[in-house]
Amino acid sequence: MEEKHKKILQRNRTNLVRDLDPSKLYDDLLEKGVFTQDMIDEIKSSGTRRDQARQLVRDLETRGSRAFPLFLQCLQETGQHSLAELLQNEAPTVQLQPAAPTQVLRPVVQPLPVSSPMDEQKQDDAPVYPVQRPSTTPSPSPEKEYIKTRIQGRTRRDSIQSYKMDSSPCGHCLIINNVEFEPQSELNNRKGSNIDCDKLENRFKVLNFIVEVKTNLKQRQIKHELSALSKRDHSQYDCCVVIMLSHGTEVSHNRFPGAVYGVDGQHVPVQHITNYLNGRHCPSLQGKPKLFFIQACGGGERDTGFEVSPDEVEPSMGGEDDQTDAIPMSSSSDSLSMSDEPDARATLPTPSDILVSYSTFPGYVSWRDTQSGSWYVETLDRILEENAPTDDLVTMLMMVNHEVSQNSAKGLYKQMPGSFNFLRKLLYFQSQA
């Protein structure tokens, strides 16, 4: 789009977001070739009418030189004359009619063969009760037919419903590693966390991410780094990753449980952490996967596990050097306060395309070995190394859950990772063959 037309849209963005009815435009914009069907689907999924209008105008600026006059024509054709005149008055030289009709390529549909009435009359001589003859080929059992259907469905789903993950680099990965806590925080230093940090830094570099590590951040600094990440232009990337390595606690919430501590003893709720990158606050990540990995306790309760049959028992890796990242539950009075976050809002859209992976079940401690790092990160790193070339992320996290659940701390305590998954598609990382 020409720069002068972009500026017209930007100057009138408020009026467009307030008055535009995107639902009336989708068919015309698709037919005229301004947007693809995938782009329209992404706009529709962005939220309310105002959110869709905002995203439509933003995407319109990325289209070709004919996008602006075609957009004006669509406004006129759908009865949104006041908006068309508003934009036309600032661009009197714009021609509403395109220079040449845009050819829309549509798939050729071949009709299935059907029998004509004459064919049916010819078949009237056939016996009403045809003779049943034994077949030499056994008919497939219902079980085999079901398995066949499942396999075909899975193949089709994998090929269609997978996130685009082929940009190079794939996206940003921010790691916040809190190791040394201030004395007044009354929190112990987290020995072994640097091992976790090094593993994940190297792993996500291998997965073709731009990795940035921040160490020993206070609460305000954590918010600052997340805010800076949300304000970056992610339009050239396919994904964004945030990894939190710190002490944690349980807080009241309405979406994502838990909170992560800064080295000053002040916490940031996980719910607020995810808000920085949702579709409303980080438009260039709309429709793209946002992944959060939380190595911190969800609370102070210790899980002693329960008895299982012998075939469920596997060797554990817990040792005498295991520590926890647990802090008692925080009061709910400050856990949802967002008044000090200018880029946060009280009412948020559904957190689509977000996955939060926790090292432990909400309310329980997370174990960390001072010599080899945390159970969760050590297992996650190995599973990614071994399975990223073939398996999607959710499948790999299930592997992590299973393996960590087999460990025991001090021969007694257990740990169960888990995730809150709002991804809409399968996610396959880039991997080196």
Peptide bond into 169 cis (omega under 30): yes
Which phi and psi (to 5°) does residue 135 adopt?
Answer: -95, 140
Q: Where are the beta strands (DSSP E) in 314-416?
A: 322-324, 354-358, 367-369, 373-374
What would the two tokens of residue 42 be?
């992404």
Kindly state the helix (H) or strand (E) to which residue 418 belongs, with its residue range: strand 418-421
CA distance 221 to 345: 20
| Local structure of residue 356 (DSSP, 8 states) | E
DSSP assignment of 54-101, as one string? HHHHHHHTTS-TTHHHHHHHHHHHTT-HHHHHHHHHH-TT--SS-SSP
Q: Strand 267-269's sheet: what is its strand order?
A: 248-249, 259-261, 267-269
- CB-based burial, 292-310: b 16+ in 10 Å, e otherwise: bbbbbbbbeebbeeeeeee
Distance spanning both ends of the chain, measured CA to CA: 39
**How far apart, in whole angstroms, are the C-alpha atoms of residue 275 and residue 281?**
7
Q: Which two tokens stand for residue 393?
A: 């992320």
State the burial class of residue 128 (Cβ atoms within 10 Å of its Cβ: 0-12, 13-18, 19+).
Answer: exposed
| Sign for the pseudo-dihedral over CA of 376, 377, 383, 384 | positive
The CB-side HSE value for 299 (13 A sphere, CA atoms) comes to 16
Give the C-alpha separation, 311 to 364, whole Å: 26
| Beta bridge mates, 267 | 261
Nearest to 299 by CA among 364, 374, 239, 356: 364
Distance, CA of 24 to CA of 80 (rounded, Å): 9
Kindly state the tokens that stand for 368. Answer: 């960390």
User: Strand 171-177 vs strand 259-261: parallel, antiparallel, or unpaired?
Assistant: unpaired
The catalytic residue positions are 247, 297
